[in-house]
Structure 1
Amino acid sequence: MRFETLSVFPQVFAPYLDESIMGRAQRKGVFDFEAFDLRRWTHDRHNTVDDAPFGGGQGMLMKPEPIYEAVDEISSMGEGRPYIVFFSPCGRRYDESCAERLAGEERVLLVCGRYEGMDERAYELADEVFSLGDYVLTGGELAALVVIDSVVRLLPGALGDDMSAKDESFSGSLLEYAQYTRPAEYRGMGVPDVLLSGDHGAVDRWRRRNAIERTALWRPDLLKGADLTPEELAFVREVIQRSNGGGDVDE
């Protein structure tokens, strides 16, 4: 898989993507990456990528011309047109299902905004527009790194254990179960006995129940997409009722 970014700060990506899991995945050929500098597609001596908005207002907007020219040229490079992603507060909320879908693409181009945003016409280039959440960043570079990281770890061979990415939070619409490591006792806090029992079946059952409990307490909205047995649904109602101090449970 190939990732490309278009940004006025192309140098910010390598320090993260060249290290740890991302770096190893690149060296193993799981994915490759190239960062393009938007200023390469400007035509004035100041390499201007922004201008004042029509109608007035604070800040500057990214101009459409460099973005269009850059996307056109980058799209013509290599094999096959990239799947083009932009970022905006108006976009779809990015989640694990989005990452799973992008992992099926051969080539993804992430276009990173800056300043007060982009000329609205630039978004016509996008195959999809994402929002990471209800907050504002100074630019799209961090958002692009989040997307790349979340997708790469789903690719075969990226983690060194193809099952590990399938057993984490948001896989199967549940948060991940609690995990512990040595020492078994620390500052008066212990580890659940079942995890020390050596009974793998019991451990699996505890993990499933713990994942359901944590999801019910912290992200009950996720349970709508979870495949739960009648017994597990009854457990969810019990957990929520306890957390409400014994009050009624909203269905």
Structure 2
Amino acid sequence: MTRILVVDDEPDLLGFVRSALEAEGFHVITATDGTEGLRLALTTKPDLVILDLLMPGLDGQAVLTALLTHDRSTRILVLSATEDRQVRVACLEQGAVDFLAKPFVVRELLARVRSRLLAPAPAGAAWLPEVLRVGEIVLDTRTRRLQVGERTAELPQREFLLLQHLMRNPDTVCSRQELLSEVWGYDFDPSTNLVDVCIGRLRSKLRNDVIRTVRNVGYQLQTA
């Protein structure tokens, strides 16, 4: 049975989310503070962590950092009442798989949980190569390790996913909306600069002329 850990210091919200998830057949574990949430996440190894940010003591941001430092593959869906877009961007750039603002509709929460846990693998995924090569760029999809010539680097999750998509579509112009959907999820505002910021970081690790900007459209990874 799929196991979900919910960490939130609001008892009413915690009970509400737990009931909704259990009604969908999930096994739910709960914690009311960051310290207990971090302990449970490390010991029970849930399939998904639903994490509040604003908690007394060890806050959600510290828990997020600790979990992703321990295991980059940990799936964390952040809940927060903050309206600060920079906080949202920072969580996603750090490696959270999704971000849902409070107050939220339970149907949306369940839809996001299912999309992160239960979506089938893309058709043909089993045949995708583990190592991608475009020119002198080599990307190991198992370790997220990038090699360009003699230089190597381990990419953060979003940079890895973005470069992986570009490398699987060389010489193809990928729109910003396409990249937002593939890397960050379906619900992002296409006017955000998330893609541009991430492209800038990738360019600093590649040759600056490898990723071409297509004005008002998106980006293209060039093979020549």
Which protein, 1 or 2, shows the higher relative CO under an 8 Å CA cutoff with sep ≥ 6? 1
Shorter-normalised TM-score: what interval?
A: 0.3 to 0.5
TM-score with structure 2 setting the length: 0.34
TM-score with structure 1 setting the length: 0.32
Highest Rg: 1 or 2? 1
Structure in which a larger fraction of residues adopt strand: 2
